[in-house]
Structure 1
Amino acid sequence: MPLALFALAVSAFGIGTTEFVMMGLLPNVADDLGTSVPTAGYLVSAYAIGVVIGAPLLTALGSRIPRKRMLLLLMALFVVGNLASALAPGFGWLIAGRVLAGLPHGAFFGVGAVVAARLVADGRQARAVATMFLGLTVANIVGVPAATLLGQHLGWRATFLVVTVIGLVAMAALARLIPYVPVDAHQSLGREVRALGNRQVLLGLLTAVFGFAGVFAVYSYLASMTTEAMGFGESSVTLVLALFGIGMTLGALIAGPLTDRALRPTLYGSLAVLTLVLAVFPFTVHNQAAALVAVVVLGAVGFTTTTPLQMLVMNHAHDAPTLASASNHAAFNLANAGGAWLGGVAIAAGWGWTSPALVGAVLTVVGLAIAVTAGVLDRTPSDRTPKGASRIVATGSPRTHTEEELSLSSSPASGS
């Protein structure tokens, strides 16, 4: 795999840390700012709202900006948002900081996925995209637990200051390692918007919204479930979060090869297993060992859905995949916001700390139904991904740009 994918993975590590660390810090933030845990859960939704707004808006505004420069600008906005969160004087300002930090998320992964796909040979695009997402999963093994531990001992503001530094390191990696990737001469915002209107793209986005909401219905309150339902102490929260991250990493590792081989079966299977895991999750908390195993499996099957969904919308957007790819992350964060909100509603209604898992199982069933419906409707041979290959190769181009071609323009003199 090209070294440039490392820069994308480092950036994903920073984004993943700031996105998911709030789940582990909800009790601390709620106590410090004088609010309840369900109310503090709005901070999870605030970040997601930023992603939903920023993904299409920033992608559209940057449609004519060379890809490397666009990635650097988006990461700079990420740094500003996290610094604003660290310095927020109150809950309202922290909400605003979280929205700001979320704005570049979807656009970054949308552009990053297209760049990653252009760096590798045909048939390995899903693995390249999954490699970028490994940074997101590693953040849940190392970044989120470490940042949560830091927040518990030095305060949640220290966590966001450290994430700000990670963002600066990511910018340096992008500047050094990403080759110059020009915008295709035929690319236009109109073409991107038309691609977004493809029926299969829209169904893929809906699948992400409902199918992934179940994961966030549980993960948003995992810290509280650890202490209130599983019977662990606060010091064990970082361990539980790390186990979830290990599961996510396992899911990312298997998702790439499986998606390259059989996209829709991978999607169907992961959503079906995710529904089952969510349904049995409330029954595992009565045994601590079983609960920990369930956390790992939940992370694994939950994240196995992300790569096939990403490749699905990119494939059906054909030669204008950037906006569709970014919108997919907006869909995932709608799932984030909706799952966190519905999970909080279930807890506030007195249904118990594990009730979000059952809410999530219902949501995932809806996502699976949408995915199967999309598969049945996908009858046009030209709209299908050939077995054993991922069709998307480049924005506005019918072939893959090899690493050697891109490296010719990767020197500092080539610009960004």
Structure 2
Amino acid sequence: MKKSLIALAFGTLGLGIAEFAMMGILGSVAENLQISISAAGHLISAYALGVCLGAPVLLLVRKYPLKKILLLLVTIIVVGNLCAAAASDYWMLLLARFLSGFPHGAYFGVASIVAQRLADKGKGSQAVSVMIAGMTIATVFGVPLGTALSNTISWRLTFLLVACWSLLTFYSIWRWIPQMDSLPDSGFKGQFKFLKSPAPWLIIGGTLLGNGGVYCWYSYINPLLTNISGFSTDSLTWLMVIAGFGMVIGNLLGGRLADRFRAGLVAAIVQSCMVFTLLLIFFFSPVPWLSVVLMVIGTAGLFGVGSPLQYLIIRFSKGGEMLGAASIQIAFNIGNAVAAYCGGLILQAGFDFRYPALVGIPFAVLGSILLFILHKKYE
């Protein structure tokens, strides 16, 4: 495997820890800063807001060489997480979390383009899947490590871990990524011309609705496993590691299949499989071993569409590739936020933890329909 692709994956691994570890250290942060859990939850929202607002800033640096943009983004990741580790109060931490999320979508956007440039012929989607692999590996190793550091020493060490890892990422990119020319500049307005075509909207909509449907279920996976499947709270750590392995396998397999077959078709089929998976989760989650199997299938599908769609959006956003590639992360985060809200509504209505999976099915159906239209009309 090329060192240059590994360097890109180092970056997404750090971003994965920064994004997902917050869920595991929420209680420690709330206790230390003497705030409520609901207030601490805003630290997750602040990161997501940073992701959404940070991606369009790429327009300001579009004329820079790609390697220089990556190094700039990684520098912001280091600074944001150092600020989070040193935050003295809630508001400072909230601002630091926003700053930490600011380069997230932009990094994915630029790294996707760089990965395709570094790829061997006919293996563009696989190269993107290697870049994304860091995010999935974070759920297997990085997030449990960050949670353990928080529980045994201090939550501040979790953010310090991300900052130190990002320094290693900076060195790896500087050392292993070759110099690349900047993308052809189509002007400020030209960056948005790709949005006049239906294809990018189908990809963005498929990402938002499809992944959102799965996140209706996954947002409440912990209480589902304990309250419905009957697992103990102590077993959640290794169950989340198993879920992370599903993400790793799904991501790499999705990239390989997308290069062998048509990427849109692969994404559409995987997304349609999630419709049936969510239905099976609703009916069979009370059976412990089936619940685990379906969890792995669900997490594999969640990331199985990532590299095909990231690959396709670059193909269909000529003249605005960086903005197009970053838009996938915006759609992903908005979809997650909407999914968690919709899944929570049915729980507030008094239904049990199986029902968010049922709520997610219409979203997944719509997402798969959009991707099948993409494949049929534009591939």
TM-score (norm 2): 0.91
Q: How does 1:177-256 map to 2 (within 5 A)?
A: 177-256=176-255
Which residue of the partner structure matches residue 412 of structure 1? none
* 2:257 aligned partner, one-letter code: L
Q: Distance in 2 between matches of 1:84 and 1:225?
A: 35
Q: 1:41 touches 1:341 (CA, 8 Å); kept in 2?
A: no
Q: Is 1:121 the equivalent of 2:120?
A: yes
Cα distance, 1:125 vs structure 2: 0.7
Which residue of the partner structure matches residue 361 of structure 2? 361
Which residue of the partner structure matches residue 35 of structure 1? 36
Cα distance, 1:376 vs structure 2: 4.5
Which residue of the partner structure matches residue 167 of structure 1? 166
Q: Is 1:272 the equivalent of 2:281?
A: no
* 1:144 aligned partner, one-letter code: V
**Unaligned segments of structure 2, at least 5 residues:** none
Cα distance, 1:197 vs structure 2: 3.3
CA gap 1:197/1:50 in 2 versus in 1, 3 angstroms: farther
* 2:336 aligned partner, one-letter code: N
CA gap 1:140/1:265 in 2 versus in 1, 3 angstroms: same
Superposition misfits of 4+ residues, deviation over 6 angstroms:
none
Q: 1:146 touches 1:238 (CA, 8 Å); kept in 2?
A: no
CA gap 1:121/1:165 in 2 versus in 1, 3 angstroms: same
Deviations 1:318-362 (A, max 9, x none): 354221011111111111222233333333443333433222222
Which residue of the partner structure matches residue 103 of structure 2? 104
* 1:237 aligned partner, one-letter code: L
Which residue of the partner structure matches residue 347 of structure 1? 347
Percent of residue pairs identical: 34
Normalized per residue, the structure richer in helix is 2
Q: 1:44 touches 1:336 (CA, 8 Å); kept in 2?
A: no
CA gap 1:325/1:181 in 2 versus in 1, 3 angstroms: same
Q: Distance in 2 between matches of 1:346 and 1:160?
A: 34
CA gap 1:213/1:94 in 2 versus in 1, 3 angstroms: farther
Q: 1:45 touches 1:338 (CA, 8 Å); kept in 2?
A: no
**Unaligned segments of structure 1, at least 5 residues:** 379-383, 385-416
Q: 1:7 touches 1:177 (CA, 8 Å); kept in 2?
A: yes
CA gap 1:128/1:97 in 2 versus in 1, 3 angstroms: same
Q: Distance in 1 between matches of 2:247 and 2:289?
A: 19
Q: Is 1:314 the equivalent of 2:314?
A: yes
Cα distance, 1:36 vs structure 2: 4.1
CA gap 1:25/1:278 in 2 versus in 1, 3 angstroms: farther
Q: Distance in 1 between matches of 2:28 and 2:345?
A: 20
TM-score (norm 1): 0.83
Deviations 1:125-147 (A, max 9, x none): 11111111111111111111222
Which residue of the partner structure matches residue 47 of structure 1? 47
Cα distance, 1:299 vs structure 2: 0.9
Deviations 1:83-109 (A, max 9, x none): 233334444444333222111011101
Aligned-partner SS, 2:120: coil
Q: 1:23 touches 1:220 (CA, 8 Å); kept in 2?
A: no
Deviations 1:279-314 (A, max 9, x none): 222444323222222221111111111112112211
Q: Distance in 2 between matches of 1:228 and 1:163?
A: 33
* 1:236 aligned partner, one-letter code: S
Q: 1:44 touches 1:337 (CA, 8 Å); kept in 2?
A: no
Q: Distance in 2 between matches of 1:347 and 1:164?
A: 37
Deviations 1:63-95 (A, max 9, x none): 011111110111111122222333344444443
Which residue of the partner structure matches residue 23 of structure 2? 23
Q: Distance in 1 between matches of 2:349 and 2:31?
A: 21
- What RMSD over aligned residues (CA atoms) do the two structures have, in Å? 2.3
The worse-fitting range, judged by mean Cα deviation, of 138-147 and 27-36 is 27-36
* 1:85 aligned partner, one-letter code: A
CA gap 1:318/1:4 in 2 versus in 1, 3 angstroms: same
Q: 1:63 touches 1:189 (CA, 8 Å); kept in 2?
A: no
The worse-fitting range, judged by mean Cα deviation, of 335-344 and 247-256 is 335-344
Which residue of the partner structure matches residue 330 of structure 2? 330
